[in-house]
Structure 1
Amino acid sequence: MQSTKQQLKALAEARRGVIVPGAFNALSAKVIEDLGYEALYVTGAGVTNMGFGLPDQGFMGLTDIADHTARIRDAVELPLIVDADTGFGNALNTYHAVRTLERAGADCIQLEDQVSPKRCGHFSGKAVIETSEMVGKIRAAVDARRDGLLLVMARTDAAAVQGFDAAVERAQAYAEAGADILFVEAVTTADEVRTLPQRLQVPQLMNMVIGGKTPIVGAEELGRLGYGFVLYANAALQGAVAGMQKVLAQLRDAREVREDPTLVAPFAERQRLVGRPFWDALEKKYA
């Protein structure tokens, strides 16, 4: 049987537009797995939003994402792509971050070239570090791997700051430094989306942010274009927020909530997702 790292590498190389939803905690990861997805993304924005109630502006630290990764790794068998922001410092910090996240269960670690503190790729006001500094971080990440199958994903935010061509040049430099997967963030036109797979040879991820700067393109088309992964980092989060607002508004207004499957997951479904039958059986075994 293939390891999760081998599975992820095969998915990247197949270039068929595999949809990768974002998980912000262990239960969201279990829902993703239960619905049949092939991989998931441990989202820094989601951890920051749901864990701290703060915007994606560099508030998350290495310990935060490592703790979430370890819990998710324990909950699901899917390959995990883990958002490591800027590596939480310089190349040495990046080396340490890769060691820490690999130990926590990551199969791929994503690093980006923003100036720290970073911000959401679809926010204004971003800045990027020098290409040479990011190349050093990627080289450090590659050297830090204990398992050579661990993948390194390099993200560039340069399109918003220096233009599309500069972003492509950076991505190419990152591939030459050893990045296994490339992620050009926040492109703004459908033509740019279509062009990237023609200009970069390394497998790529395209980020579909609902309400963001990149036009939404279907996963089928992105697969035909040659993208390895289609990221929906915070679709589950946005859906969860909408669901919470809906049920809590009804509770406030009607003063009660009944078991309506269009409004809340049934009690039995919640227990199934968290594996209660397994734990009940275990309890009987050891009684």
Structure 2
Amino acid sequence: MNEPAARLRTLLDRGDMLVMPCCFDALSARLIEQAGFPLTFMSGFAVSASRLALPDTGLISVSEMLDQGRAICDAVRIPVIGDGDTGHGNPANVRRTVDQYARAGFAGVMIEDQVMPKRCGHTGVKEVVDLSEAIRRVRAAVDARDAGAGTLIVARTDARAALGLEEALRRMQAFADAGADILFLEAPRDAAEMRRFCTEIPGIKMANMLEEGITPILPPSELAEIGYRIAAYPLTLLSAAVFAIREALAELAAGRTPTRRVDFGTLRELVGFDAYDDLLKRY
């Protein structure tokens, strides 16, 4: 049994609204866990930005994502959902992607219906694959789950931007029928569209709360009232980190030591120096 997936299923079975800050490396994932959040998501945008300083336009490889993912999953006990993008090819590629993500320690994997190379859903998606191909991707992911991977499948559509809301809802229904565990309609334009999605389509829904993105930022209580079960914050931590680093660099450039920082002892504890020293004492 996939233990991380089992923990994620237990969380979902409780019926609570889950607030999910998204991570980009092992350290950010550990901070999310220490802050008391019950799960996280490895954001493709954030990993591409932090690892390569490149845009989320399909430039990062599946091997690089898996390498980052292994480090993240090893650093925490909370369930981690991984961004599997388009599955990286045909249905056979999708199955292998899901299998690899399961072996890396992910509790779930997101598969989307954009054409390759894909791009961030809030930066002007123009094309998605046709409905039949999109369903084949989801079916392949579900088959990999049921054949032993065990990871929950998050099925995403970007059809709202490319083809309109009605087609996006049609795809969400088709993905639910194909056995997806969590449904993700990217970039609805307003609360009315979000409510239609949650009201008309069965299953567990995930909202994407991207600051300055296309979808309105709503508080978790309102998202729960609409019908969402997971609120993802894909770039909040990355944006905050960039802000803090720029602020510190400005202080250094002015000849000052930044004061808005954690102390050295906190950093030592965060990365496990004390636990490391305690381990050595046993030998």
**Common fold: TM-score over 0.5:** yes
Aligned to 1:110, the other structure's residue is in SS state strand
Is it true that 1:266 corresponds to 2:257 in the alignment? no
**C-alpha offsets along residues 115-136 of structure 1, whole Å, 9 cap, x if unaligned?**
0100000011431001111111
Partner of 1:276: 273
Q: SS of the counterpart of 1:231? A: strand
Q: Deviations over 1:226-285 (max 9, x none)?
A: 2110000111000000000001111001x1315x3xx11111111111111111111222
TM-score between the two structures when normalised by the length of structure 2: 0.95
- Tell me, yes or no, if structure 1 residue 165 matches structure 2 residue 166: yes
Distance in 2 between the 1:133 and 1:125 partners? 17
Distance 1:271 1:126, change over 3 A: farther
Distance 2:57 2:152 in 1: 25
Which residues of 2 match residues 185-204 of structure 1 at below 5 A?
185-204=186-205
Contact in 1 for aligned 2:158/2:187 (Cα 8 Å)? yes
Q: CA deviation at 1:15?
A: 4.4
Question: How far has the Cα of 1:11 moved from its partner?
Answer: 2.9
Aligned: 1:17 with 2:14: no
The number of equivalent residue pairs is: 281
Q: Which amino acid is 1:50 matched to?
A: S
Instruction: Give the structure-1-normalised TM-score.
Output: 0.94
Where does structure 2 lack aligned partners over 5 or more consecutive residues?
none
8 Å contact from structure 1 (residues 20, 37) kept in 2: yes
Map of 2:57 onto structure 1: 57
Aligned to 2:69: 69
2:118 maps to amino acid: K
The answer (yes or no) to whether the contact 1:158–1:166 under 8 Å persists in 2 is yes
Distance 1:77 1:281, change over 3 A: same
Q: What secondary structure is seen at the aligned counterpart in 2 of 1:223? A: helix
1:215 aligns with 2:212: no
One-letter identity of the residue aligned with 2:282: K
Helix, strand or coil at the partner of 1:206: strand
Partners of 2:60 and 2:15 in 1: CA distance: 31
Q: Distance in 2 between matches of 1:47 and 1:148?
A: 23
Following the alignment from structure 1 to structure 2, what is the Cα–Cα distance between the partners of residues 148 and 48? 25
3-state SS of 2:63 partner: helix
* CA distance in 2: counterparts of 1:153 and 1:60, whole angstroms: 20
The answer on whether the counterparts of 2:156 and 2:184 sit within 8 Å (CA) in structure 1 is yes
Paired with 1:114 and 1:153, the residues of 2 have a C-alpha distance of: 14
Map of 1:75-94 to 2, 5 A cutoff?
Answer: 75-94=75-94
CA contact (8 A) 1:73 1:105 kept: yes
CA distance in 2, matches of 1:268, 1:142: 45
Matches for 1:41-52 after TM superposition, within 5 Å: 41-52=41-52
Given that 2:102 and 2:150 are in contact with CA atoms closer than 8 Å, whether structure 1 keeps it comes out as no
Pick closer, same or farther for the CA change 1:32–1:164 going to 2, 3 Å.
Answer: same
Q: Percent identity?
A: 38
- Tell me the residue number matched to 1:224: 225
2:282 alignment partner, SS class? helix
Task: Tell whether the 8 Å contact from 2:98 to 2:149 is kept in structure 1 after alignment.
Answer: no
Q: Contact 2:173 / 2:201 at 8 angstroms: preserved in 1?
A: yes
Structure 1 segments unaligned to the other structure (5+ residues): none
- Change in Cα spacing, 1:149 to 1:99, as seen in structure 2 (3 Å) is closer
Larger relative contact order (CA 8 Å, sep ≥ 6): 1
